[in-house]
Structure 1
Amino acid sequence: MKLDDNTIEKKLSQLPEWEYYDNAIHTEYEFENFKDCFSAMSRIAFECEALNHHPNWSNIYNVLKISLSTHDADGVTDKDFQLAQAIETIVEEED
């Protein structure tokens, strides 16, 4: 179920690295090098498969940009926040 803007903003208070705009939540991570970035992407990919929820993302050298929304709901849902939290945990472990 699509979340309303107030609920999204409240949930984002738990994820300070993320922002809400264009009907999705977004973040960007910068890693030491391409290898570290790709390693994080690989770990995130396994989590995405486990949750059956996949990001829109792009990678240029050591920078990973991620955008999450639920296409079926045409907006942000709890699934997006569940994946965002998992991504945060993975990236923190990479540091």
Structure 2
Amino acid sequence: MSKLTLEQVKLYLGKVPGWRLAEDRMALYRTYHCSDFRTAISFVNRVAEQLEQDNQHVEIRICGSAVTFTLATGEAKGLTGKDFALAQAISKVS
């Protein structure tokens, strides 16, 4: 997939509520707040199952009960439509 322009990225952002753009990295990110650490781990495991099925890999940060996902396509050195589709898939798991 080809890298999206900043203008395209801003248009796509409207399709993934809750996700934000880290312009310095040209990556998407979203933090989910769970009730406790155990719930956060359970959530990550559910997302991981979906990611494995789709052969996707993302950056996941767990800090207490907060889980942050960061998405970007390494080969494209930025964001592609694939990243936005993945953001939608993660949002459905929550």
TM-score (norm 2): 0.91
Matched residues in 2 for 1:79 and 1:87: separation?
Answer: 12
Q: Write the letter of the residue equivalent to 1:14.
A: K
- Over aligned residues, Cα RMSD in angstroms? 1.0
Superposed displacement of residue 55, structure 1: 0.9
The amino acid of 1:65's aligned partner reads: T
Question: How far, CA to CA, are the matches of 1:82 and 1:15 in structure 2?
Answer: 9
Residue matched to 2:11: 10
User: Which consecutive residues of structure 2, in runs of 5 or more, have no partner in the other structure?
Assistant: none
Which structure's residues are more often helix, by fraction?
1
Q: Is the 8 A contact 1:2 1:74 kept in 2?
A: yes
Structure 1 unaligned runs (5+)?
none
Could you tell me how far apart the structure 2 residues matched to 1:67 and 1:25 are?
6
Please give the per-residue CA displacement for 1:64-94, whole angstroms capped at 9, x wherever unaligned: 0111000011111111111110110001xxx
Identity over the aligned pairs, expressed in percent? 30
Which stretches of structure 1, 4 residues or more, deviate above 4 A after TM superposition? none
CA contact (8 A) 1:51 1:83 kept: no
**TM-score normalised by the chain length of structure 1:** 0.90
